[in-house]
Structure 1
Amino acid sequence: MTINTARTTATTDGDVTVFLIGMRFNSLWRPDRWGPVAVAMPRMLNHLVRDPDAGLLHHEQWFGRTTISVQYWRSPEHLHAFAADADAPHLKPWRDFRKLGREGHVGIWHETYVCPPEGYESVYVHMPEFGLGKALGTVPVGPGLATARQRLAQTGAPVDAADGEIR
């Protein structure tokens, strides 16, 4: 993993759909109930990585009792099309979960955000490619992009910082 020592920011030339999804192990002693749910997400992500036309730009994952996958999509339409595609590996695990999930041994959750360019900004310092920057690409932070206020101003987003510059 290469650490980029430059200070960079994600490019902001269009909307991005951010999809957060995860699961929670409510009954750690019941892997027979949460195991099928846990193995479904890697299959879905592998499918999406192999099919860039599906619209997934990038994803990051963290694991614990409550897991999280942060996904960056081209549009909500791409996300919805994948979810409804009978040939994609989503509908069957969802239907299986609806049967298993009634018992409460495992929980799932998701949140979807459609972010216009004026609604997001980012900065990366001493980081490998990561998150939104990996999804959209990055540019060096230079004059006019040094602070969060300036990066948001590039896209016309309002920024209100009562205690001065947001960095």
Structure 2
Amino acid sequence: MGKEVFPGRYTIGQQDDIVVFIIGMRVNKWWAIHKWLPVFIAMPPMIKELYVNKDLGCLSIENFFSLRTTMMIQYWRSEKDLLAYARGQKHLKAWNDFNKKVGNNDAVGIYHETYTVKKGQFESIYGNMPKFGLSKALGHQPIRTSTNTASKRLSGQKSEPSNF
């Protein structure tokens, strides 16, 4: 069973500021499974917590996997919410466990990047897609005359009412 595909072109309405958080790991030494597997399995309980407790401020999550690297893009309501979660019990336990088990061992790497994007400084378009990324986090609306180019979407113009 797949996700519902929305035929046509869609965008998101300009909302408030948003925080984009990218986090992941890289397996540097496949044979050192005892080093990278604990890092890999530490994430699912935190993700479950974020899905179950929407009040924590995580709006949506996308996951990507390649041969050595995992990447997760998270969309957060605010920097304050993200930082509060980082100081929370589940995350701190996972971080402490990582430092005890892996530390500076080069068998596994981790990374994260945080971007606070101000209202009017982002735009999006989705053509024949299920809800994905920001549209999954914030909802989407059909492209209209006032939102049919990237420059119009970036200007933050309000969409005119739908005629259909």
TM-score w.r.t. structure 1 length? 0.89
SS of match in other structure, 2:111: strand
Provide structure 1 residue ranges, at least 5 long, that are not aligned to the other structure.
156-167
Q: For residue 86 of structure 2, what is the amino acid of its counterpart? A: A
**Which residue in the other structure is 1:71 paired with?**
74
**Is 1:114 matched up with 2:116?**
yes
- Deviation of the 1:98 alpha carbon: 1.4
Provide structure 2 residue ranges, at least 5 long, that are not aligned to the other structure.
158-164
Number of residue equivalences: 153
**Which residue in the other structure is 1:102 paired with?**
104
Q: Percent identity?
A: 44
How far apart, CA to CA, are the structure 2 residues paired with 1:73 and 1:13? 12
Correspondence for 1:84 among 84, 87, 93? 87
How far apart, CA to CA, are the structure 1 residues paired with 2:137 and 2:14? 11
TM-score w.r.t. structure 2 length? 0.90
SS of match in other structure, 1:103: coil
How far apart, CA to CA, are the structure 2 residues paired with 1:101 and 1:114? 28
SS of match in other structure, 1:45: helix
How far apart, CA to CA, are the structure 2 residues paired with 1:34 and 1:119? 37
Q: For residue 12 of structure 2, what is the amino acid of its counterpart? A: A
Q: For residue 91 of structure 2, what is the amino acid of its counterpart? A: H
Q: How does 1:9-158 map to 2 (within 5 A)?
A: 9-64=11-66, 65-86=68-89, 89-99=90-100, 100-154=102-156
RMSD: 1.0
Q: Which structure 1 residue ranges, 4+ long, deviate > 4 Å from structure 2?
A: none
- Deviation of the 1:36 alpha carbon: 0.6
Contact 1:11 1:133 in 2 (8 A): no
SS of match in other structure, 1:133: helix
